[in-house]
Amino acid sequence: MKNDVIINWEYSGKKDFVNGTGAYLEERILGYVGSLIIPCVLVVLNLNGELQWNIYQIVIGVLLGFDLGGGMISNALNSGKRFYHTEAKQDEGKSGRILKNHLLFAGIHVQPFVVGLVFNNMDWLYGLLWYLIFMTAAITVHKTPLYLQRPVSMMMVLLAVLINTFLILPIEGFGWFVPVLFLKIIYGHMVREEPYRKNL
């Protein structure tokens, strides 16, 4: 039956801050496959000459793509929702408490500065503007009542896409950056949603 669903907030097992403790194998596979997509595209673009990055930029770009692409998928996993929207357990220590603080977790995402500095000739303004927009969106979703969080987060993503398209134009090779960052954190991480278990 379509309505025969299992919602379960409990988890156990080896700590997994990436995909959420207790993730099924297929959930982990989805997260890791997601982390490879952007790096593969960036490497191909550099190999065929569409991007002219030096080795330092390639390494940083690949790491950014790995983190953001994988995080966008992992934060959408049921295991991720279950893990990040429950209280930190004692064995998760300080790292667990920090990562489960949604505004603090958003705040450590300083990638806009990295992109501006490394890929746009030390452009602090690009990083600062996007970081302020990003944190404003995170605070907005955090302060929104739960029943409106999902649509408000998607409105923040929509506004970010429009700003990225018409106002603060993306740096070459990073047209994907703002949409993926906002989907990873503003929608994926900030919004509490029911975590489903598979029917066995």
The continuous run of DSSP H or E covering 6 comes out as strand 6-7
Residue 167 lies in a domain: yes
Please give the pLDDT value at position 51.
97
What pTM, to 2 d.p., does this model score? 0.95
Residue 170 class from Cβ within 10 Å (0-12 exposed, 13-18 middle, 19+ buried)? middle
Sequence-ordered alpha helix ranges (H) in the chain: 25-47, 55-74, 78-84, 93-99, 102-107, 111-119, 124-143, 146-166, 177-182
Residue 179 lies in a domain: yes
Amino acid at 1: M
pLDDT in tens, 138-182: 999 999 999 999 999 999 999 999 999 999 999 999 999 999 999
Domain count, the chain: 1
Residue 11 lies in a domain: no
Residue 9 lies in a domain: no
Domain housing 118: 16-197
Please give the pLDDT value at position 1.
47
Residue 165 has a CB neighbour count (10 Å cut-off) of: 13
Residue 138 lies in a domain: yes
Residue 82 lies in a domain: yes
What count of Cα atoms within 13 Å lies in the side-chain half-sphere of residue 138? 22
For strand 196-197 and strand 6-7, is the pairing parallel, antiparallel, or unpaired? antiparallel
Please give the pLDDT value at position 2.
60
Residue 79 lies in a domain: yes
Residue 186 lies in a domain: yes
Is 187 in contact with 153 (CB distance < 8 Å)? yes
